[in-house]
Amino acid sequence: MAERMLLMLSVNGTEITREVPVRLTLADFLRHELALTGTHLGCEHGVCGACTVLVDGRTARSCLMLAVQADGAAVQTVEGMAVDGKLTPLQQAFVEHHGLQCGFCTPGVLATLTELLETIPDPSEADVREWLSGNICRCTGYQGIVDAALAAAKAIREGAAGE
């Protein structure tokens, strides 16, 4: 089979067709081919969590997937979260609770917490910490991230109840 392959997928709601080298990782495809540099690369062996994105609604390390494996999938990155500049409740909570400092780990953390809040709408602090164990942050000490996650969960629940 050829070293290049046609790839069709949806990224942040946009349908994309691109011919890519088969050895290109999904992370490098997002960054280098689509210029979506919000997805960061730290360790490139699946440990740090910086490159975490949502693939069909589930988090995945984009450094551990080949781009061609995402053929037919719906990928969401940090660029696909805010709509017309309006932050999601989760992103807003990060602003309000000092959920980031340097910001390097933030896109991966947001992907993880997006899946968490969809899976467990009312998470305990232990749940949040358990899920965050897959994302390494070296500057916040995590407390701000945990606070932001719990505040976002509450805001989303109250928002849903108010509708």
Partner 1 sequence: MKPPAFSYHRPHTVAETLELLATLEDAKLLAGGQSLMPMMNFRYVMPANVIDINRIADLAGIEERGDALAIGAMTRQRDLELSPVVQRCCPLLHEALLNVGHVQTRNRGTIGGSLAHLDPAAELPAVLHAHDATLHLRGRRGDRAVAMAEWSQGFMTPNLAPDELLAAITIPLWPTGHGYGFAEFTRRHGDFAMAGTAALLALDAQGKVERVALAVTGVDTGPVRLSDAEAMLLGKAPEDALIAAAAETAAISVPGLDDVHGSKEYRRKLAAVMTKRALLAARARARSEEAAHG
Establish if 45 lies at the interface with partner 1 (CB under 8 A).
yes
Strand order through the sheet with 14-21: 14-21, 4-11, 74-76, 52-55, 58-61
Establish if 46 lies at the interface with partner 1 (CB under 8 A).
yes
Count residues contacting partner 1 (CB under 8 A)?
Answer: 33
- What is the closest distance, in whole angstroms, from the C-beta atom of residue 145 to partner 1 in the complex? 15
Establish if 126 lies at the interface with partner 1 (CB under 8 A).
no
Q: Can you read off the two tokens belonging to residue 138? A: 């070296």
- What is the closest distance, in whole angstroms, from the C-beta atom of residue 43 to partner 1 in the complex? 9
Q: Using an 8 Å Cβ cutoff, are 65 and 26 in contact?
A: yes
Establish if 89 lies at the interface with partner 1 (CB under 8 A).
no
Residues in contact with 38: Cβ distance below 8 Å, sequence separation at least 6, in sequence order: 77, 78, 79, 107
Q: CB count, 10 Å around CB of 151?
A: 18
Residues binding partner 1 (CB under 8 A): 1-3, 5, 21-25, 28, 44-46, 49, 52, 58-61, 63-66, 68-69, 112, 115-116, 130-131, 133-135
